[in-house]
Structure 1
Amino acid sequence: MTSGGRFADAAFGRKLLVAAIACVAVVAGVAIGLSANKAIWEGWVTDRLFQVRANMRGTQEEARAPVAVVGLDQTSLNSEKLQPIPRVLMTPVFAEAGQAVLDAGALALGYDFVFAYSADAFRDPRTGEARLTGLDQPFKQFLYRNRGKVFIAHTEIGVPHRIFSGAAGEGAVRTVTVDSDNDGVVRRHKPQPPLIESPSLVDGLLAKAGYAGQEEYVAIPSARLATSMPYLSLLDVLKMKSSEAGKEELRRFVEGRIVLFGGLLPFEDEHLYSDRFLPQVPPDMSETGSNGRPPVRLHTAGVYMLADFIASALSGRIAVTPPKGVVPALAVLFAVTGVLLGLILPSVVLPFVAVVGAAAALGISLIGLDYGLMLAPGVAPVAFISSLVFAAAGKVLILQRRQRALVRLFGHYLAPDVIKQMAQSEQLPELGGDTRNVVVAFIDIVGFTKMSEKLADQDVVRVVNSSFDAIGEVITAHKGYIDKYIGDAIMAVWNAPNTVDKPEQAAVDAARQIIDMLDHLRTITGQAPLDLRVALNAGPALVGDIGGEHRRSFTVMGTTVNTASRIEAVAKDKKVRLAIS
């Protein structure tokens, strides 16, 4: 009976090996799954879940929307009333429309416009006359009269003129800047409590509607905002206020709602929003004025997004981050399930299982949306598929092919013939060995110490590895065995542990080829002074395992080896590249 017993039994045993594979697969699946949280592609998955959710629900009659939009669209600008007026001089129009909306019962107004220009500052370039003085007076009076109900916008690069900021009062000027996820799509809003003091226009209007939430949330739209958001063009409002019937219609439209004024012109203030894959609402099912809506575009107007952040929070169409531990628990659950299926089921059905498992994980994320939870939809599917793949690979590559894996992995450290023998017999060889005639070679990099003093550590490693790799390839090609690396030298053996018919001839041929490729080594390492020294000696040596039961090494030893080392020293003294006994 050889020492060590059965190799597999001594190392793990089949059951312990399966358990080890399972543990590694679970850990890997969980780690990879959690790394998918907020990955750049996860946002796309989230938007597709919104699409699936909307298609499953179909077009439904929803409760009255808490927010409406009044748009400065192309129809309004082309109208007889507004066409002659430059956009920067429309403050009297906004005052007229805004007061009509408030008188009709709107809770509060938000202007998604930066009123950076004041007509009072205009001077005729020819005469210097202040010809537009007083044009902004109606808007200033409107802002002052409705302080606390009207908010105006500022952005990162634009702020309202000081006369408008002063008229609107403290806290009326708020930011409309939105933050996108790492894929460039806008999805979430983070309230900054207390909302009434927040710098955000969305928060200010939420506070006016009585919202008190503080958690960051993702808005869950149910349709394209350009077709579903209650909408009036600016021209609609101006026409409605001119008659009693129109005023009543306007009252029914805006009463009790937050109203946002904003631009709806193509390519102005447009963003990618999470509604881009959602279905459109038929015109007869959406609240719209007589002048209709602007055409639907790929990008979503900024005023629609601001309105949806407010409407979703007030309507409960939001999803927040779940409590700590929920997402990791899902990752663990699906990783464990993937490992079990990967170890139990045949490989041929695993692609189908991967699809079903990923669909189930996405289904849980979809259900989470109904409960207001954003369950990181990329985590569970990735954890399941990753663990499934790791478990299946472990089963195939380790459990079913452990002999080949043993040879392949440990062959870089031990003689391949020794590894094959252990894999085939599942036994460790006895300590000691036998005596046979071998050829021993010492191959040294000349001047390595001086060279290493001039190079960075990384460059030293690169030079050594490049040289050893090229030299090792020649040794192996001539049936030699690399016994060990000794600093900047290689000890190689011929006729152990493998059998070589003419070891002396093979060793000499290898040595000559190594010397001949010196120029190649200098080129690949970039070290022109690099040189080599090779010493060869033939004779009997003890070949086998040395060490103990806990740690051992295959090597050759004896006088032949010692003499080869001394010959290498002689070659150094004589300054020759190749010395042979």
Structure 2
Amino acid sequence: MAIGRRTRDALAVIAIALASAALFVSPAFERGRGLSLDALTWLRFEGFGNRYEAATSPAVVIAIDEESYQAAPFKGAPLLTWTGEIGRVLTAVLDGGAKTVGFDIVFQTSIEQSEIPLGDGTLGERTRGFDRDFLRALASAAASGKVVLGEIFGKPPILPAPGQRIAVRQQQNLRPLNTYTDSDDVVRRHPLTLNAEGKAVPSMALELAARATGKAPVIAADGVTLGDYTVPSSVPGTMTLNFAGGADDIPTYSFADLRACALKGDKDYFRREFEGKIVLIGTVGIEDRRLTSKRFATRAEGARRPRCVLGERRVTETFARSTIAGVYIHATAVNNLVRQDAATEMSRPATFAVAAGMALLAALLARLLRPTSAAAILAGLALLYTALATALFNHAQLLPLAEPLAAGVLALASTTGYRFMVSDKDRRLLQKSFAYYLAPREIDRMLASRRLPQLGGETREVTVFFSDIEGFSRIAEQMSPEQLMALTNEYLSAMTDVIESHDGYVDKYIGDSVVAVFGAPLDDPDHAKSAARAALDCKARLAELNLSSTAFQGIKVAQRIGINSGAALVGNFGSQRRFNYSVMSDAVNVASRLEGANKFYGTTIIASDSTVALAGDEFAWRELDTIRVKGREQQLKIYELHGRTAELSAPEHALLAGYAAGLAHWRAGELPRAADCFAPAAASDTPSALFAERVAAALKGGTTDWDPIRSLQEK
């Protein structure tokens, strides 16, 4: 059974849409899947800012930053020797009311373990007890469950020094710091649990959030629950991070300032800044930096909370890395868990459904509309969809972004290609075959209606354009038939291109003459303006041909153009078997007479008063005369289209003003004053010279020979 064209096209559209969606939801596009989260994190930040004030953040960061490395007494000292001061700050923070403290830094060894020779013994022997204050601080915090040291699972694992592990009661207060990286090395998800010898161990972030909320996590095969919050997870054992944008979302304190504050004994500051907070201690510098889904929304980092002792540090706002310090990943995970706003991703089947819907819509647009129109509408829909996705992500709901948009673009391109290769093949053949005989828009109308053209027409307001080559017979005598054909074809092709670029329709060629109509077959409310613009551009195009065309070499071609607006009968005229789309009315005859009138006035473009009234002030019109043309008793005001108003020079303005004044005096019978107005321009302006002669003749013959209306009896 044969499949109809419409059924074939419908099946092709559906197949293209499904294939496009399947491609971009497949594992091959996994990197693009992560790009949706990155883009939405940036768009949300730019569009809405951050939902929370920094002061309300459950997690805060104590940064061992560049300022700390440069401050006394740490400058030049290895981090291993800082433990006593870290213990001092840890105690002050917990005394200030912090709920719990987690270390995103692992001290694998202690200076007390050093075997470097020093005098008669080793450095370790000479520094015995160096870590005592640090270990005591850890032990005190561990007794109340308020400290968690970090470790890193791996082969081999990275563990704190033995004394530190003992101080925090071994695994009771040790949690992994491992992160989860996508295939493109971007951190978008964070582990909730990790496997240790077949047992699920809570990550550092989950442990800190659980201790702060007082709710033990429930770890099951299908996910993790913290109190009444079931943590959404698209990858088993992880949560999708919901990063805020900028640099102020996680309150950050410089370790150097807190150490000075602890020495000062400012307990009020620690209570004011850390009471009820979850504190993470980690390095913030050039090391341990990661690309995350926040990579397009980062800002310059720095300690941005009120200082205790040290002066305010100026943070450069013009420099921001695309990476962030690893401690902020853990802090963000803690905030997401406590606030219960981890990002909720769509499942892969749901993502496929959304992508398929967008691809189907794009394919339908490409099938029904022109490619440019379809692309413009799809771009608008993509913007609306992106805005919707951004708004939903402001509430932690993650709509897929890259997959639907990419599928839509592919479906649009594929369907356009299908139309070109298959669906529109017959249409293009018909258009190409008949474009030489019918108006292009008439062909489009016929194809759209699926009906053959018929005899008949309608009356419409149009503007008729009539042009001719000046002295064509003289030119023909100077050229061989082949040269004349080359010149004529190039001239007619150029003029036709200009006319059609202004939505005109070339009705016919009569030798070197061109008859065109504006306002049919397609409605054009500005048909007079379009005809005037086309006339000026035809004049300019002919000037270019005279300079550059080899067919015009040695011959300067001039043209005359007549334009007239009025009611006309437009449609298909001819016999039952053969007809043309054309225009018939007195408006055509008047346009032809106006074209011929140019030879009497030495002008290029003459238009009737009806065209001037419709075209308006965009153009500089010179009222030439009032005439009677051959075959018509009714007088007609005619105007020269001198140019575009905005492009006139001062001398041209003066010429037109002088001519208008002379014409007014002429019609009023004030012949001497008319002569004074026409005389200055008569040497360089043919219409002024003609009127100067008419005025002189009238003065010589007396008022009986004066007639303000000129009769043109020649075509």
Write the distance in 2 (CA, Å) between the matches of 1:37 and 1:306. Answer: 29
Write the distance in 1 (CA, Å) between the matches of 2:160 and 2:387. Answer: 47
Asked if structure 2 preserves the Cα contact closer than 8 Å seen for 1:219 and 1:318, the reply is yes
Letter in 2 for 1:260: L
Return 5+ residue gaps in structure 1 as ranges.
1-9, 406-581
**Residue-by-residue CA offset, 1:262-315 (whole Å, 9 max, x unaligned):** 11232x111112323226489998556645487654421111221122123323
2:276 pairs with 1:261: no
Q: 119, 125, 137: which is aligned to 1:142?
A: 137
Q: 294, 298, 303: which is aligned to 2:327?
A: 303
Q: 221, 226, 242: which is aligned to 1:220?
A: 242
Change over 3 Å in CA distance of 1:297–1:399 after alignment to 2: closer
Give runs of ≥4 in structure 1 deviating > 6 Å. 193-197, 281-285, 402-405
Instruction: Name the residue aligned to 1:127.
Output: 120
Asked if structure 1 preserves the Cα contact closer than 8 Å seen for 2:102 and 2:147, the reply is yes
Instruction: Name the residue aligned to 1:47.
Output: 38
Instruction: Name the residue aligned to 2:184.
Output: 183
Write the distance in 2 (CA, Å) between the matches of 1:337 and 1:310. Answer: 41
Letter in 1 for 2:204: L
Write the distance in 1 (CA, Å) between the matches of 2:10 and 2:99. Answer: 63
Change over 3 Å in CA distance of 1:84–1:56 after alignment to 2: closer
Asked if structure 2 preserves the Cα contact closer than 8 Å seen for 1:45 and 1:378, the reply is yes
Higher relative contact order (CA 8 A, sep 6+): 1
Change over 3 Å in CA distance of 1:38–1:315 after alignment to 2: farther
TM superposition shift of 1:350: 2.6
Asked if structure 1 preserves the Cα contact closer than 8 Å seen for 2:299 and 2:321, the reply is no
Write the distance in 2 (CA, Å) between the matches of 1:149 and 1:402. Answer: 78
Instruction: Name the residue aligned to 1:200.
Output: 203
**Residue-by-residue CA offset, 1:7-37 (whole Å, 9 max, x unaligned):** xxx5312222122212212222321232378
Aligned residues: 393
TM superposition shift of 1:317: 4.3
Write the distance in 2 (CA, Å) between the matches of 1:353 and 1:387. Answer: 14
Change over 3 Å in CA distance of 1:324–1:123 after alignment to 2: closer
Write the distance in 2 (CA, Å) between the matches of 1:401 and 1:276. Answer: 47
Change over 3 Å in CA distance of 1:281–1:54 after alignment to 2: farther
Instruction: Name the residue aligned to 1:276.
Output: 295
Partner of 1:40: helix, strand, or coil? helix
Asked if structure 1 preserves the Cα contact closer than 8 Å seen for 2:52 and 2:249, the reply is no
Change over 3 Å in CA distance of 1:204–1:301 after alignment to 2: same
TM superposition shift of 1:259: 0.3
Partner of 1:318: helix, strand, or coil? coil
Write the distance in 2 (CA, Å) between the matches of 1:286 and 1:181. Answer: 32
1:16-55 equivalent positions in 2, closer than 5 A: 16-35=7-26, 39-55=30-46
Instruction: Name the residue aligned to 2:252.
Output: 231
TM superposition shift of 1:38: 5.6
TM superposition shift of 1:231: 1.2
Asked if structure 2 preserves the Cα contact closer than 8 Å seen for 1:55 and 1:279, the reply is no
Instruction: Name the residue aligned to 2:713.
Output: none
1:105-504 equivalent positions in 2, closer than 5 A: 105-123=97-115, 125=117, 126-129=119-122, 130-147=125-142, 148-155=145-152, 156=154, 158-169=158-169, 170-192=171-193, 198-210=201-213, 212=226, 213-216=230-233, 217-225=239-247, 227-243=248-264, 246-266=266-286, 268-278=287-297, 280=299, 290=310, 292=313, 296-322=320-346, 325-401=349-425
Write the distance in 1 (CA, Å) between the matches of 2:8 and 2:82. Answer: 77
Write the distance in 1 (CA, Å) between the matches of 2:92 and 2:159. Answer: 25
Partner of 2:63: helix, strand, or coil? strand
Write the distance in 2 (CA, Å) between the matches of 1:235 and 1:220. Answer: 30
Letter in 2 for 1:158: I
Letter in 2 for 1:321: E
Write the distance in 2 (CA, Å) between the matches of 1:121 and 1:279. Answer: 40
Letter in 1 for 2:260: K
Partner of 1:72: helix, strand, or coil? strand
Partner of 1:70: helix, strand, or coil? strand
Change over 3 Å in CA distance of 1:163–1:293 after alignment to 2: farther
Write the distance in 2 (CA, Å) between the matches of 1:388 and 1:45. Answer: 20
Asked if structure 2 preserves the Cα contact closer than 8 Å seen for 1:92 and 1:139, the reply is yes
1:63-74 equivalent positions in 2, closer than 5 A: 64-74=56-66
Asked if structure 2 preserves the Cα contact closer than 8 Å seen for 1:271 and 1:300, the reply is yes
Partner of 2:343: helix, strand, or coil? strand
Letter in 2 for 1:154: E
Write the distance in 2 (CA, Å) between the matches of 1:71 and 1:294. Answer: 14
Asked if structure 1 preserves the Cα contact closer than 8 Å seen for 2:231 and 2:342, the reply is no
Instruction: Name the residue aligned to 1:7.
Output: none
Name the stretch that deviates more: 203-212 or 95-104.
203-212
TM superposition shift of 1:64: 0.7
**Residue-by-residue CA offset, 1:317-339 (whole Å, 9 max, x unaligned):** 43122356432221232122122
Partner of 2:106: helix, strand, or coil? coil
Write the distance in 2 (CA, Å) between the matches of 1:85 and 1:33. Answer: 52
Partner of 2:62: helix, strand, or coil? strand
Change over 3 Å in CA distance of 1:193–1:93 after alignment to 2: same
Asked if structure 2 preserves the Cα contact closer than 8 Å seen for 1:54 and 1:223, the reply is yes
Asked if structure 2 preserves the Cα contact closer than 8 Å seen for 1:69 and 1:307, the reply is yes
Asked if structure 1 preserves the Cα contact closer than 8 Å seen for 2:298 and 2:323, the reply is no
Change over 3 Å in CA distance of 1:18–1:343 after alignment to 2: same
Write the distance in 2 (CA, Å) between the matches of 1:274 and 1:387. Answer: 28
Name the stretch that deviates more: 307-316 or 253-262.
307-316
TM superposition shift of 1:114: 1.1
Write the distance in 2 (CA, Å) between the matches of 1:23 and 1:374. Answer: 26
Partner of 1:256: helix, strand, or coil? coil
**Residue-by-residue CA offset, 1:31-76 (whole Å, 9 max, x unaligned):** 1232378632443443232222111114776261111111112222
Asked if structure 1 preserves the Cα contact closer than 8 Å seen for 2:206 and 2:337, the reply is no
**Residue-by-residue CA offset, 1:134-154 (whole Å, 9 max, x unaligned):** 111222222222212211122
Change over 3 Å in CA distance of 1:257–1:331 after alignment to 2: same
**Residue-by-residue CA offset, 1:378-426 (whole Å, 9 max, x unaligned):** 1211222222233333233222227999xxxxxxxxxxxxxxxxxxxxx
Change over 3 Å in CA distance of 1:384–1:298 after alignment to 2: closer
Change over 3 Å in CA distance of 1:180–1:100 after alignment to 2: same
Partner of 1:71: helix, strand, or coil? strand
Write the distance in 2 (CA, Å) between the matches of 1:321 and 1:124. Answer: 53
Write the distance in 2 (CA, Å) between the matches of 1:283 and 1:75. Answer: 9
Asked if structure 2 preserves the Cα contact closer than 8 Å seen for 1:153 and 1:175, the reply is yes
Name the stretch that deviates more: 46-55 or 185-194.
185-194
Instruction: Name the residue aligned to 1:500.
Output: none
Identical counterparts, % of pairs: 24
Write the distance in 1 (CA, Å) between the matches of 2:168 and 2:261. Answer: 26
Asked if structure 2 preserves the Cα contact closer than 8 Å seen for 1:264 and 1:294, the reply is no
**Residue-by-residue CA offset, 1:335-365 (whole Å, 9 max, x unaligned):** 2212221221122323323322333333343
TM superposition shift of 1:100: 0.7
Asked if structure 1 preserves the Cα contact closer than 8 Å seen for 2:44 and 2:390, the reply is yes
